[in-house]
């Protein structure tokens, strides 16, 4: 009899909750382990403090002597807070975070011990990081890669290590990470959005993109997870019949949080507070064992860092609670998967949310300008936006009637639809004084300041306006937010600078007033963006048909979705905005395809192993029991055994059929892999989608049928109903 499953079940039932005391107000903990403004003021000279502030606000360079002074302050603070090591903390293109710790400890020639850290170590390092994905960039020229300090994301202490957020670039300056293009995209949107915001308010000097992510995840008992090779190696249950009771009764969503999960959350949240991650919301999600966590929104670069950090932190803290976090987009068939909504907006340095309607017609014209330009940007780049969230795991989720489809569209709600319909009727050319007054009073002036009408929310839309921000809902739960944020900010940056050029052209050549020019350009954008707007049910088949008529892309698989990234117009877009060059784009394309292939390859191997080593032998063992039974019946009843053992005989045959199916399919799958592996990467990826992936469901189907037939105590794999039963 198998023992691992039952050992794990026993372990999981004997867990004692690990109580977490809440001794201090969260605000008293907030940022204590962060080298933020408060800490910097304490240990840095006024001059050094200003140098960091300037670097954050204007991207100005920090001179070497100044870096030494900052490093000295940082070291002092870190040592006072118990740090023994420091690391450049970066986000290579694996999607996760990377760190290599060095001790502050050093000895001099006389053997004297000391703690050392200077400006050189703060500003730039050369990790031996040759094994990170680089898509060929590091084969050319020099193979070296550098990490360089990003002062806009403050250093923090994790455990006993001072972590310094950095970019990771090649010797030739190409981005090897997720942060570099993000910083460039945020720079691009800053300059183009500031220029447009100045039409309405001359005092705006800077525009910051804001991001509030909502992270969904599953929690399962660590011992149960460890008993499932598929979960340990692929992050998801590749096999296993859906539990009889899944989410049908809607009794988990917003229900009371299971004690073990709540303790984990408290522990996590306290750590988040210390690290300056402003987590605010926690609740049960739709599926059993599924939860969600959301912070207060932040500047996008910091928010991306915080999301990467929290995913790492969640893994570590879960361990303490004998839990395992599953971030996978579809860890269990038959219940909902996980996403990571990205709420996005733009904020001026005087604190105005540019996507928030205001109290005056001018503020509302400003709002409409940014609102309509965003819609136009999505309209023109819908396929690229889809590509920014493409991954093997997210392919399970998009379009599976619990998550938005793979078709991008924008939802804006009834009220704003009416406003856009009115604006579309604006006169071509100069507006009469009467028309302008009318517009200001009845259209632009009539946008209610608070648009957060909950009844008007459409949960099926991938890109929805939710009152004062857009919510991009197609992002996968494992995706590094940097990918969608790079694309969104780049396309809107590009759109806003086009807008500025068009408005200025009308003002200069047609002698139009500024407002007239703005109304004219917006009117054309509204007309041009109709295709992308959709208010109906995004999950419906009729939308898929309608979207096809509208010639919207519907790339259901990652290899299809990624192609757009290396097309001429996209390369031009990224080059002109200064976000990425052709080499970087092609490298990323290759890395993403490679990752896709590797993920499916690993899944295919894991599935093959489980099928051969666990499922088939178990089926045979149970079949032997049945055979023994039938033989026994024959011994006692002679010829009558056929009638008496009729059901057993049917079962014996059925089991043989399933064994045959699983065995044949597994070998065919291996052959398909061999063929696919011969191809170059783009074709290999397609081949994996078309020729390897389809076996997964077929093998699973037969195995899940066997799970229902075979005696429970013989079944080696912890059942999904057991995994999804956190108490
Ligand atoms: P939901 O109904 O989808 O759960 P909420 O209205 O509760 O959404 O908000 C979700 C997220 O939106 C939160 O993380 C919040 O911080 C974020 N958010 C709110 N305002 C902004 C903004 N101006 N920019 C970016 N994110 C924002
Ligand atoms: Mg949301």
Q: Tens digit of pLDDT for each residue in 292-344? A: 999 999 999 999 999 999 999 999 999 999 999 999 999 999 999 999 999 99
Q: Which residues line the pocket of ligand 1, CB cutoff 6 A?
A: 210-212, 214, 294-297, 341, 343-345, 353, 468-469
From atom 6 of ligand 1, which residue's Cα is the shortest distance away?
A: 466
- Domains, the chain, ordered by start: 31-177 (3.10.20.70), 187-238+246-580 (3.30.590.10), 595-723 (1.20.120.1560)
Burial class (CB in 10 A: 0-12, 13-18, 19+), 241: middle
| Mean pLDDT of the chain, nearest integer | 94
Residue 584 has pLDDT above 70, yes or no: yes
Q: Looking at residue 404, what is its pLDDT?
A: 82
Q: Evaluate whether 689 touches 598 at the Cβ level (below 8 Å).
A: no
Dihedral sign (CA 158, 159, 161, 162)? positive
Q: Looking at residue 255, what is its pLDDT?
A: 82
Q: Looking at residue 339, what is its pLDDT?
A: 96
Q: Looking at residue 223, what is its pLDDT?
A: 97
Q: Looking at residue 454, what is its pLDDT?
A: 47
Who surrounds ion ligand 2 at CB < 5 A? 214, 341
- Ligand 2 centroid to Cα of residue 292, in Å, is 10
- CA–CA distance, 571 with 494 (Å, rounded to integer): 13
Residue 2 has pLDDT above 80, yes or no: no
pLDDT bucket at 138, cuts 50 / 70 / 90: low
- Choose among 463, 470, 460: nearest CA to 386: 463
Closest atom of ligand 1 to CA, residue 345: 24
Average pLDDT over residues 685-694: 98
Q: Looking at residue 10, what is its pLDDT?
A: 95
- Ligand 2 centroid to Cα of residue 341, in Å, is 5
- Ligand 1 centroid to Cα of residue 282, in Å, is 13
- Ligand 2 centroid to Cα of residue 425, in Å, is 33
* Ligand showing the shortest atom-to-Cα distance for residue 404: 2
- Ligand 2 centroid to Cα of residue 337, in Å, is 14
Report which of residues 411 and 445 the model is more confident about: 411
Q: Looking at residue 1, what is its pLDDT?
A: 54
- CA–CA distance, 287 with 334 (Å, rounded to integer): 9
Closest atom of ligand 1 to CA, residue 452: 6
Pocket residue to mutate for ligand 1, from 211, 214, 280, 404, most atoms within 8 A of Cβ: 214
- Ligand 1 centroid to Cα of residue 297, in Å, is 7
Element (H, E) at 620: helix 616-637
From atom 1 of ligand 1, which residue's Cα is the shortest distance away?
A: 214
Closest atom of ligand 1 to CA, residue 347: 23
Q: Looking at residue 512, what is its pLDDT?
A: 93
Average pLDDT over residues 703-718: 97
Q: Is 351 left (phi over 0), alpha (psi -120 to 50) or beta?
A: left
377-396 pLDDT per residue, tens: 999 999 999 999 999 999 99
Angle of the 482-509 helix axis to the 568-576 helix axis, nearest 10? 80
Average pLDDT over residues 197-207: 97
Closest atom of ligand 1 to CA, residue 211: 25
* ipTM reported for the complex, 2 dp: 0.95
From atom 26 of ligand 1, which residue's Cα is the shortest distance away?
A: 212
Q: Looking at residue 450, what is its pLDDT?
A: 60
Residue 185 has pLDDT above 60, yes or no: yes
* Ligand showing the shortest atom-to-Cα distance for residue 278: 1
223-260 pLDDT per residue, tens: 999 999 999 999 999 999 998 888 888 787 778 899 99
Residue 449 has pLDDT above 80, yes or no: no
- Ligand 1 centroid to Cα of residue 265, in Å, is 20
Location of structure tokens 């009727």:
425
Joined together, the tokens standing for residue 161 give 């290590």
Ranges of H-type helices in 465-581:
482-509, 514-528, 541-549, 558-562, 568-576
- Ligand 1 centroid to Cα of residue 84, in Å, is 37
Closest atom of ligand 1 to CA, residue 353: 23
Residue 500 has pLDDT above 90, yes or no: yes
Element (H, E) at 125: strand 124-125
- Choose among 698, 693, 689: nearest CA to 662: 698
Pocket residue to mutate for ligand 1, from 277, 340, 469, most atoms within 8 A of Cβ: 469
pTM as predicted: 0.96
Average pLDDT over residues 68-90: 96
8-35 pLDDT per residue, tens: 999 999 999 899 999 999 999 999 999 9
Closest atom of ligand 1 to CA, residue 356: 23
pLDDT bucket at 455, cuts 50 / 70 / 90: very low
Closest atom of ligand 1 to CA, residue 344: 25
């Amino acid at each position: 009899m198998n023992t691992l499953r039952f050992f794990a079940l026993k372990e999981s039932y004997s867990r004692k909750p690990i109580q977490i005391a809440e001794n201090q107000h969260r605000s008293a903990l907030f940022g204590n382990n962060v080298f933020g403004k408060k800490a910097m003021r304490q240990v840095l000279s006024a001059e050094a403090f200003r140098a960091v502030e300037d670097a954050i606000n204007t991207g100005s360079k920090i001179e070497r002597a100044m870096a030494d002074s900052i490093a000295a302050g940082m070291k002092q603070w870190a040592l006072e807070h118990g740090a023994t090591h420091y690391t450049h903390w970066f986000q290579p293109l694996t999607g996760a975070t990377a760190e290599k710790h060095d001790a502050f400890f050093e000895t001099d020639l006389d053997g004297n011990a000391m703690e050392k850290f200077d400006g050189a170590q703060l500003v730039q390092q050369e990790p031996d990081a040759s094994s990170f994905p680089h898509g060929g960039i590091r084969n050319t020229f020099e193979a070296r890669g550098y990490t360089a300090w990003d002062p806009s994301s403050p250093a923090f202490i994790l455990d006993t290590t001072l972590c310094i957020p950095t970019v990771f670039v090649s010797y030739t300056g190409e981005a090897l990470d997720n942060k570099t293009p993000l910083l460039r995209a945020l720079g691009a949107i800053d300059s183009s959005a500031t220029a447009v915001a100045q039409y309405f308010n001359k005092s705006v000097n800077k525009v910051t993109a804001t991001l509030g992510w909502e992270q969904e995840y599953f929690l399962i008992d660590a011992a149960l997870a460890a008993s499932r090779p598929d979960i340990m190696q692929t992050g998801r249950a590749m096999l296993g019949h859906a539990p009889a009771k899944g989410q049908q009764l809607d009794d988990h969503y917003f229900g009371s949080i299971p004690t073990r999960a709540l303790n984990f959350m408290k522990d996590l949240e306290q750590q988040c507070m210390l690290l300056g991650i402003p987590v605010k919301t926690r609740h049960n999600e739709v599926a059993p064992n599924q939860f969600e966590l959301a912070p207060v929104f932040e500047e996008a670069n910091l928010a991306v860092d915080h999301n990467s950090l929290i995913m790492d932190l969640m893994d570590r803290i879960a361990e303490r609670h004998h839990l395992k976090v599953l971030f996978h987009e579809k860890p269990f068939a038959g219940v909902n998967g996980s996403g990571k909504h990205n709420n996005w907006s733009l904020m001026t340095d005087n604190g105005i949310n540019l996507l928030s309607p205001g109290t005056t017609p001018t503020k509302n014209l400003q709002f409409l300008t940014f609102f309509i330009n965003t819609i136009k940007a999505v309209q023109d780049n819908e396929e690229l936006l889809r590509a920014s969230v493409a991954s093997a795991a997210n392919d399970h989720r998009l379009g599976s009637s619990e998550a938005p489809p793979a078709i991008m569209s924008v939802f804006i709600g009834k009220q704003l639809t009416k406003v856009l319909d009115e604006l579309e009727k604006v006169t071509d050319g100069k507006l009469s004084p009467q028309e302008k007054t009318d517009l200001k009073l009845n259209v632009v002036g009539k946008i209610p300041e608070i648009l957060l009408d909950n009844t008007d929310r459409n949960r099926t839309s991938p890109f929805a306006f939710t009152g004062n921000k857009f919510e991009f809902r197609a992002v996968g739960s494992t995706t590094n937010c940097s990918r969608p944020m790079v694309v969104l900010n780049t396309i809107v940056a590009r759109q806003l600078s086009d807008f500025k050029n068009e408005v200025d052209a009308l003002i200069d050549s047609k002698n139009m007033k500024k407002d007239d020019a703005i109304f004219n350009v917006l009117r054309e954008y509204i007309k041009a963006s109709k295709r992308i707007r959709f208010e109906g049910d995004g999950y419906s088949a009729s939308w898929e048909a309608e979207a096809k008529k509208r010639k919207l892309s519907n790339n259901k698989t990652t290899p299809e979705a990624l192609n757009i990234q290396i097309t001429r117009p996209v390369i031009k877009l990224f080059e002109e905005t200064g976000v990425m060059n052709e080499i970087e784009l092609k490298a990323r394309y290759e890395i993403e395809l490679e990752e896709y292939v590797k993920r499916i390859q690993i899944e295919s191997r894991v599935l093959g192993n489980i099928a051969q080593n666990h499922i088939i032998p178990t089926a045979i063992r149970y079949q032997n029991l049945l055979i023994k039974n039938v033989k026994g019946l024959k011994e006692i009843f002679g010829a009558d055994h056929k009638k008496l053992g009729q059901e057993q005989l049917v079962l014996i045959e059925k089991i043989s059929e399933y064994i045959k199916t699983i065995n044949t399919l597994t070998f065919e799958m291996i052959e398909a892999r061999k063929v696919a592996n011969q191809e170059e990467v783009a074709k290999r990826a397609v081949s994996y989608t078309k020729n390897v992936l389809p076996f997964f469901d077929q093998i699973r189907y037969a195995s899940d049928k066997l799970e229902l037939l075979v005696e429970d105590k013989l079944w080696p794999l912890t059942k999904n109903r057991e995994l999804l039963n956190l108490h």
